[in-house]
Amino acid sequence: MILGHSYLSSLNPEGLGTPLAESVTSYIPRLCKLHSISFSTFLSDILFPKMGTLSLVNSIKRGCSRVYTRPYAFNGVSNFTEKIIHTLELLTLQKNLIYITLLPLRNIISCQNVFRHYRAWCPICLAERKDRALTIYEPLVWTIKAVRSCLVHHISLRTQCHKCGNMLPVIARHVQNGFCSTCGHWLGLTDTNNKYPVDPIPDFDSWKDRNIGELISILPETINITRNETLRTVLTEHINLHYKGSASAYARSAKIPKATISRWQAGTALPSLENLLKISYRSQTPLADLITKGRLQKDAKVFDYQDSESLFPASPRKTNDFDYAYVKRHLESVLKSKSENPLSMTKVAENLGYTKKTLYKHFYVLCRHISAKAACHRKARKEQRLGQERLFVEKVAEQLHIEGVYPSYDAIENAAPKKGIMRSHESRDAWKNKLREFGFENGG
Ligand SMILES: [Zn+2]
Ligand SMILES: [Zn+2]
């Protein structure tokens, strides 16, 4: 590596101050590409040593770092994210990298369970940027779980590679924006002239997606907010206007514990993104205004919460230790995948950032099936290759014989596109049969 003690390229983050601001998990792959290193090498040789997190360096080198399963550590609001941004800014001399994370919202929302574990993308956005020779990057808004559609093209974001069928972890050893980290295929539309099937996006989903996009576009305005006074004002106004000032009545209607609402109002707890969306939806105040401006529309209608309840499904439980649900989903998707090249358990474990032993311990049957599927595929591939080699040997032997040249072992080996074709029994048997057929008694 030529980096030595020098800084990294001072790469500008894309889309700052817009709903399509870049994510750190897109910015780092761009840096890596520029310096021709993999994501994992960047983490283990540059970023983590600079951050002084040596335990992570070692775990990445052993190939089983849990960093791979924690994209929120990069794009989120934790001290770890702050450290990453601080270090990246030192390395690149950029000043605005905080806006490619949700860090500016650290005093405003609680970011638990906000991020996807898998990448999501709009194939049209990718294709359009490629066509116009613009930088290919993946916006922060695509990493947020609640966002379902593209803000520009209003189509559902894709979450599976159309070539290999795999879901793609946000962080993997070799991530390149716009490309599948499993099979390397381009994730954008290949022909923008072809009409892309447009699936209707429910109004509520586009409302939610648009609001989250607006929130991302105002990140630079939220940086100095240490306490969300606006939320307090809007909430109080809304409760006064529609619930005669009774926080209990609001809590009952919104199905949010009253104590939780009191803590938000007192500023001792932060609402989740999901809850902020609920408040925004009920008070008809755009999400971004709920943070920076906050004027409640006086004629706002009170939504029937019974109806909107189904729009906000309960979030899945998360455990701190082994991310059981996430790993299970991943293994199931690997098993279901119709990839031409099924992944081995070694590769799956590597992608997930757990050891094979851990995966077998929790999901023995699933792991056995994945392993059997890969083995079966390897066997079929081997048989196919041997068959092709046998045909090749026969063809070359015949050709040489016609030309009056003795089809020797070396002559055939030399005619092959790569070395070692005569090493297999199958090839040698085919060759000996041909020799016998041509009348060379002993077949070699
Ligand atoms: Zn798009
Ligand atoms: Zn793929």
Query: Does 220 lie in the same domain as 270?
Result: no
Separation CA 418–CA 206 (nearest Å) = 54
Query: Does 140 lie in the same domain as 21?
Result: yes
Q: Which domain holds residue 32?
A: 7-226
Ligand at shortest distance from the CA of 188 = 1
| Residue 316 lies inside a defined structural domain of this protein | no
Query: Does 247 lie in the same domain as 215?
Result: no
What separation in Å is there between the alpha carbon of 151 and the centre of ligand 1? 6
What separation in Å is there between the alpha carbon of 286 and the centre of ligand 2? 37
Average pLDDT over residues 421-428: 90
Specify the pTM: 0.67
What separation in Å is there between the alpha carbon of 99 and the centre of ligand 1? 21
Ligand at shortest distance from the CA of 196 = 1
Residue 178 pLDDT exceeds 90: yes
What separation in Å is there between the alpha carbon of 266 and the centre of ligand 1? 40
Residue 177 pLDDT exceeds 90: yes
| Residue 89 lies inside a defined structural domain of this protein | yes
Separation CA 366–CA 368 (nearest Å) = 5
On whether the CB atoms of residues 150 and 125 are closer than 8 A, the answer is: yes
Task: Please tell me which residue, 92 or 256, carries the higher pLDDT value.
Answer: 92
| Residue 208 lies inside a defined structural domain of this protein | yes
Residue 64 pLDDT exceeds 60: no
Domain termination residue (choose one: 279, 309, 339): 309
Domain termination residue (choose one: 249, 282, 309): 309
Task: Please tell me which residue, 35 or 61, carries the higher pLDDT value.
Answer: 35
Q: What is the pLDDT of residue 65?
A: 62
Q: 261: which residues sit within 8 A by CB, 6+ positions away?
A: 235, 247, 250, 251, 254
Query: Does 168 lie in the same domain as 68?
Result: yes
User: What confidence tier does 2 reach under pLDDT thresholds 50, 70, 90?
Assistant: very low
Query: Does 361 lie in the same domain as 297?
Result: no
User: What confidence tier does 150 reach under pLDDT thresholds 50, 70, 90?
Assistant: very high
Query: Does 247 lie in the same domain as 257?
Result: yes
Query: Does 209 lie in the same domain as 233?
Result: no
Residue 306 pLDDT exceeds 50: no
| Residue 214 lies inside a defined structural domain of this protein | yes
User: What confidence tier does 239 reach under pLDDT thresholds 50, 70, 90?
Assistant: confident
Query: Does 392 lie in the same domain as 254?
Result: no
* CA nearest to 8, candidates 89, 85, 81: 89
Separation CA 18–CA 139 (nearest Å) = 10
Query: Does 105 lie in the same domain as 38?
Result: yes
- Token reading at 397: 């032997």
Residue 275 pLDDT exceeds 90: no
| Residue 93 lies inside a defined structural domain of this protein | yes
Ligand at shortest distance from the CA of 166 = 2
Q: Output the domain CATH number for residue 300.
A: 1.10.260
Separation CA 226–CA 219 (nearest Å) = 13
Separation CA 155–CA 199 (nearest Å) = 6
| Residue 444 lies inside a defined structural domain of this protein | no
Ligand at shortest distance from the CA of 198 = 1
Query: Does 62 lie in the same domain as 82?
Result: yes
Structurally, how many domains does the chain consist of? 3
Domain termination residue (choose one: 206, 226, 246): 226
What separation in Å is there between the alpha carbon of 122 and the centre of ligand 1? 5
Task: Please tell me which residue, 164 or 321, carries the higher pLDDT value.
Answer: 164
What separation in Å is there between the alpha carbon of 11 and the centre of ligand 1? 24
Average pLDDT over residues 270-283: 85
What separation in Å is there between the alpha carbon of 114 and the centre of ligand 2? 25
Q: What is the pLDDT of residues 98-132, one digit of tens each?
A: 999 999 998 888 888 899 989 999 999 999 999 99
Query: Does 32 lie in the same domain as 147?
Result: yes
| Residue 319 lies inside a defined structural domain of this protein | no
Give the single-character DSSP code of 195. P
Query: Does 287 lie in the same domain as 220?
Result: no
| Residue 37 lies inside a defined structural domain of this protein | yes
Q: Which of 56-60, 190-194, 354-358 has the highest mean pLDDT?
A: 354-358
Q: What is the pLDDT of residues 48-63, one digit of tens each?
A: 888 887 777 777 777 6
